[in-house]
């Protein structure tokens, strides 16, 4: 799935000459935490976050009303003075997998989405990514996650899918993960049913090892020295 299908395209933006109070009010009114800063041609020149605003304001503003002189001083602070310039961006043609890795590496909460000319096309946040993965994985529908540990060889996934399909059970998704044991894989089908006892028994009879998806990762972590 491409970023263009998951991003918010109607982006709330702000001008670099807006005041810090205007940025704060816009965030509160629109319930957003990131405001891309654009020029007259809608080209991205920066981004301002709620953290930037909190850092620029004195603690007294959050504890009690500022004195008039503090209010006047803050009112002179422009978005251009606190925004992050040349922020990390992502292309509409990147995948949501690309976006997930970039958010992990850059440790940011959102990416402005820009085209080849630097024009803002949207914004993609962690919340948007979560929504996209829920849709992709089908986990928004009632069902059960099943765990199976298998040898890493051709045909294993097909055998599992065929065995489950023969029971007239539909799939929401299938994930395949590495295990700590060389030569093995963990397969996690999300089945659109709550009655999985029969299919578990069938897979066990085929020689597969059933694992608990909720405990599998913790069980595989190396012990502390």
Q: Where are the domains of the chain?
A: 3-135, 144-220
What does the pLDDT look like over 160-216, one tens digit per residue? 999 999 999 999 889 888 777 778 889 999 999 999 999 999 999 999 999 988 777
Q: Which pair of tokens denotes residue 118?
A: 């630097």
Q: Which of 184, 191, 92, 88 is nearest to 137 (CA)?
A: 191
Query: Of the candidates 22, 148, 154, 153, which has an alpha carbon nearest to the alpha carbon of residue 78?
Result: 22
The position carrying tokens 């001083």 is 73
Torsion of CA 42, 55, 126, 15, to 10 degrees: -10
In this structure, are residues 44 and 89 in contact, taking their beta carbons and an 8 Å threshold?
yes
3-state SS, residue 104: helix
Residue environment code for 110-133, b if the CB has 16+ CB neighbours within 10 A, otherwise e: bbbbbeeeeebbbbbbeebbeebb
- pLDDT value at residue 104: 85
Fold of 3-135: CBS-domain (3.10.580)
Is 144-220 a domain of CATH 3.30.70.260? yes
Residue 122 has pLDDT above 80, yes or no: yes
Question: 3-135 with 144-220: one CATH topology?
Answer: no
pLDDT score for 70? 67
φ and ψ at 189, to 5 degrees?
Answer: -80, 135
Query: pLDDT grade, residue 35 (50/70/90)?
Result: very high
Plot region of 138 (φ>0 → left; ψ -120 to 50 → alpha; else → beta): left
pTM, whole model, 2 decimals? Answer: 0.69
Q: What backbone phi and psi angles, to 5 degrees, belong to 187?
A: -110, 130
Tokens of 195: 């009655």
Residue range 41-97, pLDDT digits in tens: 999 999 999 999 888 876 545 434 556 666 677 778 899 999 999 899 999 999 988
**Cα separation of 172 and 181, whole Å?**
27
Distance CA 151, CA 149 (A): 7
In this prediction, residue 224 carries a pLDDT of 47
Give 25's contacts (C-beta < 8 A, 6+ positions apart).
Answer: none
pLDDT of residue 63: 39
- Measured over the CA atoms of residue 52, residue 53, residue 58 and residue 63, the dihedral's sign is negative
Nearest to 103 by CA among 124, 85, 82: 124
Pairing of strands 184-191, 147-151: antiparallel
Closest CA to 132 of 176, 170, 173, 104: 173
Task: Check residue 67 and give its pLDDT.
Answer: 64
């Amino acid at each position: 799935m491409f970023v263009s299908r998951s991003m918010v395209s109607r982006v709330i933006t702000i001008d670099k000459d807006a005041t810090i109070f205007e940025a704060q009010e816009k965030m509160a009114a629109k319930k957003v935490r990131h405001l891309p800063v654009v020029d007259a041609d809608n080209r991205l020149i920066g981004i301002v976050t709620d953290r930037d605003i909190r850092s620029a304001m004195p603690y007294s503003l959050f504890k009690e009303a500022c004195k008039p002189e503090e209010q006047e001083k803050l009112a002179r602070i422009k978005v251009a003075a606190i925004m992050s310039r040349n922020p990390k961006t992502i292309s509409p043609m990147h995948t949501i997998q690309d976006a997930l890795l970039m958010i992990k590496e850059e440790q940011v909460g959102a990416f402005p989405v820009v085209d080849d000319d630097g024009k803002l096309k949207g914004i993609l946040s962690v919340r948007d990514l979560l929504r996209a993965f829920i849709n992709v994985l089908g986990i928004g529908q009632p069902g059960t996650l099943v765990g199976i540990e298998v040898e890493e060889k051709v045909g294993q996934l097909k055998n599992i899918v065929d065995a489950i399909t023969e029971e007239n059970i539909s799939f929401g998704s299938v994930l395949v993960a590495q295990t700590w044991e060389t030569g093995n894989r963990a397969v996690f089908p999300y089945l659109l049913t709550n009655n999985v006892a029969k299919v578990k028994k069938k897979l066990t009879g085929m020689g597969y090892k059933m694992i608990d998806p909720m405990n599998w990762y913790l069980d595989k972590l190396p012990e502390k020295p």
